[in-house]
Amino acid sequence: MWAAAPTLAPVSHLQTMIRSEIAIDARSYYLAQDQDIRQLRARIEEAVQAGGRFVDFTEVGNRQVSVLMTAATRVVISLETVQFDARDTGDLGAPYGGMYDL
C-alpha cells in the first residue's frame, strides 16, 4: 500500500543580502553591508600604485580592519547571497560576534 505524500509547509519568504568576501593573502574577511566594493577596489588599486599604503575597511561584526596593500599583496573579492542579518550594519560603535556574543 502506498503512503500519501507528505505535505510540505509553505516556503517562508526569507530576506537575503549580498555578502562580500575579501581574501587578502592567507586571510579572509566578510565585509560589513555598508562597504562599497567599487570604492574599496579603487582604494586598493591606489595603494598599490603608490607603492604601498594601509587600506581600511569594516568587516562583519562591525570591526575595523587595516591592511597594508603592496604590489605583492594578493586580493580576491567574491560575492554571494546569504540570509539577511540585521546586526550587519557596519556601525563600529556596535560590534558583535566573538566568544561573548551568543
User: Quick one: cell of 27?
Assistant: 586571510
Assess if residue 95 is contained within a domain: no
Q: Which of 44, 46, 72, 71 has its CA nearest to residue 56? A: 44
Predicted confidence at residue 101, as pLDDT, reads 46
Assess if residue 90 is contained within a domain: no
State the pLDDT confidence band at 94, using cuts at 50, 70 and 90.
Answer: confident
Of all residues in the chain, the percent with pLDDT exceeding 70 is 80
User: What mean pLDDT is predicted for residues 64-87?
Assistant: 91
State the pLDDT confidence band at 77, using cuts at 50, 70 and 90.
Answer: very high
Range of the structural domain that residue 71 is part of: 16-83
Assess if residue 6 is contained within a domain: no
Q: Is the dihedral of CA 70, 47, 62, 12 positive or negative?
A: negative
Assess if residue 2 is contained within a domain: no
- The total domain count for the chain is 1
Q: Say yes or no to pLDDT of 102 above 50.
A: no
Assess if residue 88 is contained within a domain: no
Assess if residue 11 is contained within a domain: no
Tell me the C-alpha distance between 87 and 98, whole Å. 14
Q: Say yes or no to pLDDT of 8 above 50.
A: yes
Assess if residue 58 is contained within a domain: yes
Q: Give me the phi and psi of 91, to 5 degrees please.
A: -75, 110
Assess if residue 23 is contained within a domain: yes
Between residues 100 and 13, which one has the greater pLDDT?
13
